[in-house]
């Protein structure tokens, strides 16, 4: 069965520090998709990225970057030069496809607080 | 651009009461979901639907029911509310023909059962 573990429950950093949010997943499928979602204090959930299991290239989007390593079953998320607006709960999620075609399973989330 | 709309945003129920959380999307998405979020527990899937007339149980379906008579609407029914159903409920939808697409979420409905 698929599983996502976000071991860091809460992280606090000072503004402009870099921070990495860890995500470790378990799956029996060779084809799967990994996601990150952001939930700011206002409560809505916002999609950040989707990555399929065949694409291990790291991705960078502005101050955000993602490191996908199948060898360690990890899909870590780094925020460079953090800002107060990055304060949120961040969820990693996994969907297996196509064998089980299972709905998304979320980790428990990591609450990031960026202090000015 | 309405996206996914949930109502109500807040509700207080007494134990044993029933209610329906409404969810409507205007993006013509086939896939729709109901999740609940409890503090420190992430999001747990209650029910999902891959198209009108088709629904399926998720991880925590007990105490809930759904229907999907149209592509747009996916209401979640709570029968005989219990304190354990105090939570924030999120409806989401996804374009495509599998569970691998980006989810679009509603703003959430905070339910308290006393």
CB contact under 8 A, A97 and B107: no
Res. B76: pLDDT tops 80: yes
Q: Provide the CB-side half-sphere exposure for A81 (13 A, CA).
A: 2
What confidence score (pLDDT) does residue A99 get? Answer: 55
Strands A110-115 and A59-61 turn out to be unpaired
Mean pLDDT of A9-19: 97
Mean pLDDT of A88-99: 87
Given a contact cutoff of 8 angstroms between Cβ atoms, the answer to whether A27 and A94 are in contact is yes
Res. A19: pLDDT tops 90: yes
| pLDDT bracket for residue A98 (50, 70, 90) | low
Could you say which DSSP state residue B98 is in? S
Res. A106: pLDDT tops 70: yes
Give the three-state DSSP class for A9: coil
CB contact under 8 A, A103 and B45: yes
Going from the C-alpha of B85 to that of each of B14, B38, B113, the distances in angstroms are 11, 9, 7
Give the three-state DSSP class for A26: strand
Structure tokens at A24: 């470790």
Structure tokens at B11: 């509700």
Going from the C-alpha of A65 to that of each of A81, B9, B98, the distances in angstroms are 12, 33, 26
CB contact under 8 A, A102 and B99: yes
Q: Which residue in B103, B107, B110 has the most chain A C-beta atoms within 10 A of its own C-beta, making it the best mutation to test that interface?
A: B103
Res. B1: pLDDT tops 70: no
Short-list B31, B34, B32, B30, CA closest to B20: B34
Mean pLDDT of B3-32: 96
Q: Which of A9, A101, A106 sits opposite B43 (nearest CB)?
A: A106
What confidence score (pLDDT) does residue A41 get? Answer: 93
What confidence score (pLDDT) does residue B2 get? Answer: 79
Q: B38-42, B67-71, B96-100: which range is least confident on average?
A: B96-100
Q: Which residue in A54, A103, A109 has the most chain B C-beta atoms within 10 A of its own C-beta, making it the best mutation to test that interface?
A: A103
Sign of CA dihedral A24, A27, A33, A39: negative
Nearest CA in chain B to A102: B99
pLDDT for A47-80, tens place per residue? 999 998 988 888 889 999 999 999 999 999 999 9
CA distance A4 to A81: 26
CA distance A112 to A19: 9
Encode A91-110: b = buried (16+ Cβ within 10 Å), e = exposed. Answer: bbbbbbbeeeebbbbbbbbb
């Amino acid at each position: 069965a698929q599983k996502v573990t976000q071991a860091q429950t809460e992280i606090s950093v000072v503004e402009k520090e870099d921070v990495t949010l860890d995500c470790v997943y378990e799956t029996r499928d060779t084809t799967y998709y990994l996601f990150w979602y952001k939930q700011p204090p206002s409560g809505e959930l916002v999609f950040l990225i989707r990555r399929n299991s065949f694409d291990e290239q790291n991705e960078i989007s502005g101050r955000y970057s993602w490191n996908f390593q199948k060898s360690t079953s990890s899909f870590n998320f780094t925020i460079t030069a953090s800002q107060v607006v990055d304060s949120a709960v961040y969820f990693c999620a996994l969907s297996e496809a196509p064998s089980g075609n299972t709905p998304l399973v979320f980790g428990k989330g990591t609450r990031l607080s960026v202090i000015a | 651009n309405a996206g996914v709309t949930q109502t109500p945003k807040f509700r207080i129920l007494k134990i044993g009461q029933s209610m329906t959380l409404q969810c409507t999307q205007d993006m013509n998405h086939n896939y729709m979901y109901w999740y609940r979020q409890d503090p420190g527990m992430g999001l747990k899937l209650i029910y999902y639907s891959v198209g009108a007339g088709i629904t399926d149980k998720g991880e925590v379906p007990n105490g809930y029911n759904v229907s999907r008579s149209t592509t747009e609407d996916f209401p979640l029914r709570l029968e005989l509310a219990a304190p354990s159903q105090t939570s924030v409920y999120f409806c989401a939808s996804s374009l495509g023909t599998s569970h691998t697409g980006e989810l679009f979420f509603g703003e959430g409905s905070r339910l308290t059962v006393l």
